[in-house]
Chains A and B, each alone.
Chain A
């Protein structure tokens, strides 16, 4: 683990519990993410990975524990949730672009509407972001006219336009075919290399192994094991981790 390139802790999660009614979906979750770190969360379906990301972004309230984003308690009822969401971007499996807006407008919308930034300045930045995800020639296209991989890259650009401190990726390549998957993975790899703090939920084990600074393995709502990819993938300590990896590798 090359911790030397990592900065100060930016997300600090302590003892988080999340229930839906009687069902406990997350319990005793502890996690620290540093500035510039790339974290991958792996684990079987239903283990609570998406729920954890949604809690970090204040899309779902937690029942116990604390989540600090850049020193601010996400679960504080007095807190303006919008303030947290400006700092934390999230990209979903199904892209969820706004279908009535062009790619460029999708990227520009939040900074102009939410942050009230100058549209001309935002447009310049949005075009630069589209270029960064290699879609500068698709600025005028509507989501319905783009492939899945292209839509996903617009969604990443849309998230980046808010200048977040962290971006959460929830199985962003799961709905894509192998070819377009690669385009999106290249984009994420470049982002991580540029020093963006990323938390990825992924089933792409090879990618996780290559890109992650830290890997968390979750099962049944708890973090079973965490560590550098070399440890998790080559010498897993916990039999559950071993069983899961035997199944997916």
Chain B
């Protein structure tokens, strides 16, 4: 109940903040031009397009998070493997993907992946936005790998020993004993990573994917009015804020609960 109240408050604050940004930009537009009413109508006119682009941002963020997580969990486990070579390789991959600029990785995947590939004699197109998903999934993988490593290492050694003495195999120990306990500690940083990823998705506009940012810029070019600049960017900003703020609040609530528990 405590958390639902918190999240609800978060959403309320988010809406208030968005309304404030919109009001400020409209007020600003009013002083700049007498045709303030038409600015509002123009924002409304372009809203569906910007929102569609924003939905692509969300789709890209969800897909790269999913792929990055699916790849990052085994990578994180490999980082604590007993096998020396496996462990070293996993750590190297993790460090490399974690510490590379996201935009550079995006450009690299755009450049290295073909725009179509052949499967059973058929050529299947490989659109830019899917390449962008892969480009963003790479740093997500590295970060998830670190989150998993940290989470697993936070579980006391005695738990391993206890499982070992009951004849659990190492795999059973990891999946039945260690990970379920580590999950509670891994969830907040994982959610935090997702919020950062969602906010970083406009990077894909730079490599030519038609996202929310591209649509705002398209609208600005089409209208060719400088007084639209602030309201349209503020609209996109508000969409991101309304989406990300509740996630940040939920992360905080989880963190606080974890603090109380341990």
A99 to B167, CA, bound (A): 18
A174 to chain B, nearest CB (A): 15
Does B181 contact A100, Cβ atoms closer than 8 Å?
yes
Q: Which of A92, A94, A97, A110 sits near B167, CB closer than 8 Å?
A: A110
CB-CB nearest in chain A for B177: A98
Does B181 contact A85, Cβ atoms closer than 8 Å?
no
Interface residues of A in 73-123 (CB under 8 A from B): 82-83, 85-86, 89-90, 92, 94, 96-100, 109-110, 113-114
Q: Which of B158, B169, B181 sits near A96, CB closer than 8 Å?
A: B158
A154 to B201, CA, bound (A): 50
Contacts of B169 in A (CB 8 A): 82, 114
Does A113 contact B162, Cβ atoms closer than 8 Å?
no
A58 to chain B, nearest CB (A): 9
A83 to B159, CA, bound (A): 20
Contacts of B165 in A (CB 8 A): 57, 59, 85, 89-90
Q: Which of B161, B176, B177, B181 sits near A59, CB closer than 8 Å?
A: B161
B166 at the A/B interface (Cβ < 8 Å)? yes
Interface residues of B in 24-54 (CB under 8 A from A): none
Contacts of B172 in A (CB 8 A): 113-114
B107 at the A/B interface (Cβ < 8 Å)? no
B44 to chain A, nearest CB (A): 51
A83 to B169, CA, bound (A): 11
Contacts of B176 in A (CB 8 A): 109, 113
A7 to B87, CA, bound (A): 48
A59 to B161, CA, bound (A): 8
Interface residues of B in 122-166 (CB under 8 A from A): 158-159, 161-166
Give the number of chain B interface residues (Cβ < 8 Å): 16
Does B168 contact A113, Cβ atoms closer than 8 Å?
yes
CB-CB nearest in chain B for A109: B176
Does B167 contact A162, Cβ atoms closer than 8 Å?
yes
B39 to chain A, nearest CB (A): 55
B180 at the A/B interface (Cβ < 8 Å)? yes
A80 to B214, CA, bound (A): 61
A68 to chain B, nearest CB (A): 18
A158 at the A/B interface (Cβ < 8 Å)? yes
With A100-B181, A109-B176, A113-B176 as given contacts, are A162 and B166 in contact (CB-CB < 8 Å)?
yes
CB-CB nearest in chain B for A161: B166
Q: Which of A99, A100, A158 sits near B166, CB closer than 8 Å?
A: A158
Does B162 contact A85, Cβ atoms closer than 8 Å?
no
Contacts of B166 in A (CB 8 A): 85, 89, 109-110, 114, 158-159, 162
Does A59 contact B162, Cβ atoms closer than 8 Å?
no
With A94-B158, A113-B172 as given contacts, are A85 and B177 in contact (CB-CB < 8 Å)?
no
Contacts of A96 in B (CB 8 A): 158-159, 161-162
CB-CB nearest in chain A for B159: A96
Does B167 contact A85, Cβ atoms closer than 8 Å?
yes
Beyond A59-B161, A92-B158, A98-B163, list 17 extra A-B contacts (CB 8 Å): A82-B169, A85-B164, A85-B165, A90-B165, A92-B161, A94-B158, A96-B162, A98-B159, A109-B176, A110-B166, A110-B168, A113-B172, A113-B176, A114-B168, A114-B172, A158-B166, A159-B166
